Amino acid sequence: MPRITLVFLLCVSLLPAHAQQVNKAKQGKSLTPKRGQTDAHGHQWWQHAVFYEVYPRSFADGNDDGVGDLKGITSKLGYLRDLGVDAIWITPCFPSPQVDFGYDVSDFENIDPQYGTLADFDRMVQEGRKQNVEIILDFVMNDTSDKHKWFIESKSSRHNPKRDWYVWRDGHGREQPPNNWTSLFGHSAWKWDDATKQFYYHTFYPEQPDLNWRNPAVKQAMFDVTRFWYKRGVAGFRLDAVDNLFEDPELKDNPNQAEKYQYGDPEQDRIHNSNLPEVHVVLKELRKVADESHAVLIGETWTADVAALKAYYGEHDNELQLPMDFLFTQVNKLSPAEFRKQMAGVIDSGGWPVYLLSNHDIPRAYSRYGDGSHNDAIAKLTAALYLTLPGTPIMYYGEEIGMANSEPKRIEDVKDPIGKLGWPKEKGRDGERTPMQWNDSPNAGFSAAAPWLPVSPSYKTHNVATEQQDPDSILNFYRSVLKLRHEDAAMLEGKYVALNEKDNNVLSYLRVDGDRAILVALNMTGEAQKPAFDLSSQGFADAQPKVLLTTMKSGPGSLDSLSLEPFSVYIAEVKK
Ligand code: GLC
């Protein structure tokens, strides 16, 4: 019996009754409006939805060839519904040579045979409708595969009509590229083409030539790609690498920094090939196309600060509805002060926040925040944090069971090309992309065949089947907090009010909704903490808190004598 289950059984009689009830509860009536509708507060479906990222290679393998696929995803939509997920974002599942595991797209309007067919896609959308799970696709706007028919034509001659669909330039001979720009994946961002004696530009791998978004024909063709999928029932897109769409036409050199980054090249201030103002013009137009289908646009928006993030919403909320706040993912320690600062920045900016803990490019939260001995408690703590904040959360598959990062140990095992290039400083992203852990059978129930990446050794204890049986598991905690989020209006609409802003140990806040509020207190330390709450300035002076959800083993008692166990979560309702 896992240790946490044993502890749970011993302590179950001490738990406050409400916590047990919440743990047993099924997802009930959700307050999330349907697509195209708004709720009484004027909020749309994506504002109350919980999104969940699926990396298709690694989620569920429907045909037992070791690589996940759409049939596999379809078979798990019921699981996701029960978990409390409203929409899934599937990373690219289009035909691709898989140099960048799907981010090198060779046909935007089809499904890669290893993931299935368009008919499988349509079945997934239908099943999603039955389960109330919307489908979001990845829109790789910045580049195509070098095997895409557009690039093959473009490359065929300097006079081809598609030549100007990509960024071709003369260099100074074949050895000297047009300027000093480096690829985000290492070395020069220019690749020489011997047949036509010019260089083409690639932000990422040389197999991913950048599209020329200054060409109106490119824009039209790409907008039509989104229309193709909207017609097939897609509810929106996650826009890949959106800050890289435009480059300075004069190709001015970027300033080099003194520091070298993991591929040995100098770090650059990417002032001439990233975040150019033209990006916002395209986003406004793309939004108009999305609005015709009540669709949502999520952005992969890496920004240096909140002001740049804010710009992605558009001055009149006419660009991205959901630009991801990656600044939140950069808070890499359990620091109440840093989280507070980050949350206040985004919330005060007036944008609708979009929080995530990790994704297919960012090491898993379980390992980033875990201290090695309280990792499961910390996984619940970080879940409680970003799932009780105002805004829209995007979960990453496996986070709900506490999947750990599982990096390759030897360079010969690395699959992600940047891991081969940057080893050992940069080990690549295989660690956060290992197969979903469904049960404790071989290959974690992901596939009957050897998976494309080895499963993490943690699958014996951290898997869906085992955790479903354990009321104290991370999985059941996620279900409980998501249920609360869907069913309690204060969780969705309540105003965020920071409490005890000088406390360096406990992060606490209210979500105030009229004459009631939800109090969230998160002990971010390994010691018991006794926070003092004075809620009189919010009008809740004499409130008797009613615990809605807690990970405490003993009854928390009254607010005055509240003692928070190490890394514990305390969520309670207070009324005026
Ligand atoms: C995006 C994707 C990443 C990919 C890169 C280049 O950043 O999230 O996985 O490698 O684009 O295609």
Q: How far is the CA of 17 from the centre of ligand 1 (A)?
A: 46
- State residue 526's pLDDT score: 98
- Which H or E element spans position 291? helix 278-291
Instruction: Give the Cβ contact number of residue 38 at 10 Å.
Output: 12
Q: Which residues pair with 394 in a beta bridge?
A: 51, 356
For residue 15, give the 3-state DSSP assignment: coil
Phi/psi at 198 (5° precision):
-140, 170
For the annotated catalytic residues, the residue numbers are 240, 292
Question: Taking the alpha carbons of 39, 45, 48, 49 in that order, is the dihedral positive or negative?
Answer: positive
Q: How far is the CA of 132 from the centre of ligand 1 (A)?
A: 28
- Alpha-carbon distance 232 to 564, whole Å? 49
Angle (nearest 5°) at CA 285 between 282 and 287: 110
pLDDT at 147 over 80: yes
Taking the CA atoms of residue 232, residue 237, residue 240 and residue 244 in that order, the dihedral angle to the nearest 10 degrees is 110
- Alpha-carbon distance 389 to 328, whole Å? 12
241 pocket-lining for ligand 1 (C-beta < 6 Å): yes
100 pocket-lining for ligand 1 (C-beta < 6 Å): yes
- State residue 21's pLDDT score: 37
- Alpha-carbon distance 538 to 542, whole Å? 11
For residue 22, give the 3-state DSSP assignment: helix
pLDDT at 407 over 70: yes
Q: How far is the CA of 241 from the centre of ligand 1 (A)?
A: 7
For residue 122, give the 3-state DSSP assignment: helix
- Which H or E element spans position 508? strand 506-513
**Atom 3 of ligand 1, residue of closest alpha carbon:** 361
- Alpha-carbon distance 260 to 274, whole Å? 19
Q: Which residues pair with 134 in a beta bridge?
A: 87
31, burial (CB in 10 Å: exposed 0-12, middle 13-18, buried 19+): middle
Tell me the DSSP string of 268-288: E--TTTSS-THHHHHHHHHHH
- State residue 26's pLDDT score: 67
Task: Evaluate whether 297 touches 236 at the Cβ level (below 8 Å).
Answer: yes
* Closest ligand 1 atom number to CA of residue 100: 10
- Alpha-carbon distance 172 to 155, whole Å? 19
**For 334, how many CA atoms within 13 A lie in the half-sphere containing its CB?**
29
- State residue 13's pLDDT score: 33
**Atom 7 of ligand 1, residue of closest alpha carbon:** 241
Residues 242-269 have pLDDT tens digits of: 999 999 999 999 999 988 877 888 889 9
* Closest ligand 1 atom number to CA of residue 359: 8
Residues 188-208 have pLDDT tens digits of: 999 999 999 999 999 999 999
242 pocket-lining for ligand 1 (C-beta < 6 Å): no
* Closest ligand 1 atom number to CA of residue 204: 6
Mean residue pLDDT across the chain: 93
Q: How far is the CA of 89 from the centre of ligand 1 (A)?
A: 14
Interacting residues of 493 by C-beta distance below 8 A, sequence separation 6+: 41, 43, 513
**For 61, how many CA atoms within 13 A lie in the half-sphere containing its CB?**
23
* Residue 6: band (very low, low, confident or very high) from pLDDT cuts 50, 70, 90: very low
* Closest ligand 1 atom number to CA of residue 418: 10
- State residue 29's pLDDT score: 79
53 pocket-lining for ligand 1 (C-beta < 6 Å): no
**For 343, how many CA atoms within 13 A lie in the half-sphere containing its CB?**
25
205 pocket-lining for ligand 1 (C-beta < 6 Å): no
Q: What is the 3-state secondary structure (H, E, C) of 408-422?
A: CCCHHHCCCHHHHHH
Q: Which residues pair with 48 in a beta bridge?
A: none
- State residue 67's pLDDT score: 98
Residues 560-573 have pLDDT tens digits of: 889 999 999 999 99
pLDDT at 8 over 60: no
**Atom 11 of ligand 1, residue of closest alpha carbon:** 241
How do strand 392-396 and strand 51-54 relate by DSSP bridges?
parallel
Reading the block at residue 494, the tokens are 């309540």
* Closest ligand 1 atom number to CA of residue 203: 6
Query: For residue 424, is the peptide bond before it cis, meaning its omega torsion is within 30 degrees of 0?
Result: yes
**For range 76-82, the mean pLDDT:** 98
Q: How far is the CA of 6 from the centre of ligand 1 (A)?
A: 42
- State residue 2's pLDDT score: 36
Interacting residues of 123 by C-beta distance below 8 A, sequence separation 6+: 70, 74
Tell me the DSSP string of 185-207: TSSBSEEEETTTTEEEE-SS-TT
* Closest ligand 1 atom number to CA of residue 143: 12
pLDDT at 156 over 50: yes
Going by C-alpha positions, the residue among 409, 418, 415, 394 that lies closest to residue 323 is 394
* Closest ligand 1 atom number to CA of residue 240: 1
Taking the CA atoms of residue 246, residue 248, residue 253 and residue 254 in that order, the dihedral angle to the nearest 10 degrees is -50
Q: How far is the CA of 44 from the centre of ligand 1 (A)?
A: 28
- State residue 264's pLDDT score: 84
573 pocket-lining for ligand 1 (C-beta < 6 Å): no
- Alpha-carbon distance 207 to 151, whole Å? 10
* Residue 18: band (very low, low, confident or very high) from pLDDT cuts 50, 70, 90: very low
Cα distances (Å, whole numbers) of residue 366 to 58, 140, 477: 18, 28, 14
Residues 483-527 have pLDDT tens digits of: 999 999 999 999 999 999 999 999 999 999 999 999 999 999 999
CA 372, chain centre distance (Å)? 24
**From 79-83, 186-190, 259-263, 317-321, the region with the lowest mean pLDDT:** 259-263
Q: How far is the CA of 240 from the centre of ligand 1 (A)?
A: 7
In 227-302, where do the E strands start and end?
Answer: 236-239, 256-260, 266-268, 296-299
> Taking phi first (over 0 means left), then psi (-120 to 50 degrees means alpha), and beta for anything else, what does residue 173 get?
left
Question: Taking the alpha carbons of 212, 214, 218, 224 in that order, is the dihedral positive or negative?
Answer: positive
**Atom 9 of ligand 1, residue of closest alpha carbon:** 361
> Taking phi first (over 0 means left), then psi (-120 to 50 degrees means alpha), and beta for anything else, what does residue 179 get?
beta
Q: How far is the CA of 536 from the centre of ligand 1 (A)?
A: 48
The sheet that has 495-499: what strands, in order across it? 495-499, 506-513, 516-523, 569-575, 546-550
Cα distances (Å, whole numbers) of residue 339 to 181, 293, 343, 507, 550: 34, 35, 6, 8, 20
Alpha helices in 132-215 (DSSP H): 149-156
Pocket perturbation via mutation, ligand 1, pick of 96, 242, 361 by most ligand atoms within 8 A of CB: 361
Task: Evaluate whether 191 touches 206 at the Cβ level (below 8 Å).
Answer: yes
Task: Evaluate whether 239 touches 247 at the Cβ level (below 8 Å).
Answer: no
What is the percentage of the chain residues whose pLDDT exceeds 70?
Answer: 95
Reading the block at residue 61, the tokens are 């393998």
pLDDT at 34 over 90: no
Q: How far is the CA of 103 from the centre of ligand 1 (A)?
A: 6
Reading the block at residue 323, the tokens are 């630009």
How do strand 546-550 and strand 569-575 relate by DSSP bridges?
antiparallel
516 pocket-lining for ligand 1 (C-beta < 6 Å): no
240 pocket-lining for ligand 1 (C-beta < 6 Å): yes
**For range 23-45, the mean pLDDT:** 79
361 pocket-lining for ligand 1 (C-beta < 6 Å): yes
Whole-model pTM? 0.95
* Residue 5: band (very low, low, confident or very high) from pLDDT cuts 50, 70, 90: very low
**Atom 4 of ligand 1, residue of closest alpha carbon:** 103
Residues 451-481 have pLDDT tens digits of: 999 999 999 999 999 999 999 999 999 999 9
**Atom 10 of ligand 1, residue of closest alpha carbon:** 100
pLDDT at 347 over 70: yes
pLDDT at 159 over 80: yes
